[in-house]
Amino acid sequence: MDTMTIERAYELARARYAQVGVDTEAALALLDTVSLSLHCWQGDDVAGFESPEAALTGGGLVVTGACPGRARTVEELRADLDKAYSLLPGEHRLNLHAIYGEFGGARVDRDAIGLEHYQGWRDWAKERGLKLDFNATCFSHPKAAAGFTLSSKDAEIRAFWIEHVKRCRLIAAWMGREQGSACVHNLWIPDGSKEVSVDRHGHRRLLRESLEEIYATAYRPSELKDAVESKLFGIGSESFVVGSHDFYLSFAVKHAVMICLDMGHFHPTESVADKLSSIMTFSPEALIHVSRAVRWDSDHVVILNDELRAVAEVIVRDGLLGRVHLALDYFDASLNRVGAWVIGARATLKAMLLALLEPTRMLIEAEESGDTFRRLAALEELKSLPWGAVWDYHCVRNNVPPGWEWRRAVKEYEEAVLRGRG
């Protein structure tokens, strides 16, 4: 579609939205402030760069598929990320796991990582105007093989992981200080058991003690924002997960850290959007891991579905822009990995746009007057308004391909670069 056609369609959409009291220009200005944190691990199937033979092993995570083109080096991963960012409107971030450091071929265990292992990422991000977020990596390691890390009853194992997370927070604070934007450090651990556990309290007491030691070191909020992430279950922890939602929510409120709500980490009948609305009544900030579960926490590529729209609506309706941080979290090796990044990121941005194009004040007025018919009718009619024309215009204005056109760029990159990797 040519630019002139997109601009004409946008003007018609703008007029249509004005009829229901929505200023599309104001909505797009707010959309420009939405910054997604893209997850590095989609590009290489959560292998990382600790060693040439590094690969995901256990810890409640499984990557399926064998599409050619997996990034095998830091340089390949950065090239793939460059391509993905070039197809996204707006300014976004990069979410790094600790295993993605540059270790120069040396064996650097996780309790020995330092700032020097991430200087290359910092330089790369600075050149591109990107901001970094960071995650401790408490899985795919011999000291996680027994199923317990920070909640292990083995004091030596606990000490190893405590030191790892302490170092990760130090690195994250350094990143935040260097980039002039707080680095979000998120902590997820795979601790739990496949069968029924008797001493649940014992493991949770140890996890609490480990966390209290880790977070005893304070950093400036302008440099570091901490988050803790819960889970309902994982592979190998089907019967007991130490870091449950109740545990981490209690810890987060008591210790003033963010709760991370992964959209795939709850029972299918639970609503992350509803949880977010409740939590933000008491917490200043929160982190959302944007994911998609299919029957279980399967980390499917994010699409524009009802769950994603509901989360975006809560963020906009409740005035939470800037207080809720959005980070993508999924991994799929069954399709083009760069394309998977772009599909999920654009779907998330579309959900935010749809929420920003809602005449919220009118809907609240109908609700408060008891006119539930008007409210429901309006919500239904809004679904067919020409928001797609607004999205295409947003893409064109940000110099990225609108509509389906970005797929051609991905396929060309696949033919020129990805297929040559084997």
Q: Which sequence positions are flagged as catalytic?
A: 188, 229, 231, 262, 265, 289, 297, 299, 329
Structure tokens at 324: 């809720």
Helix (H, G, I), strand (E, B) or coil at 38: strand
In whole angstroms, what is the distance from residue 268 CA to residue 266 CA?
A: 6
Let me know: does 83 contact 407? Beta carbons within 8 Å: no
Residue corresponding to tokens 């990422």: 121
CB burial string 360-375: b at 16+ within 10 A, e below: beebeebeeeeeeeeb
The interaxial angle of helices 74-85 and 337-356, nearest 10 deg, is 40
How far CA 59 is from CA of 167, 280, 356, in Å, comes to 21, 30, 38
Q: For residue 301, what is the DSSP state?
A: P
Residue corresponding to tokens 């008491």: 282
- ∠ CA 346-349-351, nearest 5°, is 110
Spatial CA neighbour of 263 closest among 248, 253, 273: 273
- Which value, in Å, is the radius of gyration of the alpha carbons in the chain? 22
Give me the sign of the Cα torsion angle 237, 299, 260, 303.
negative
Residue corresponding to tokens 């971030």: 93
Structure tokens at 161: 């992981």
Structure tokens at 140: 């795919």
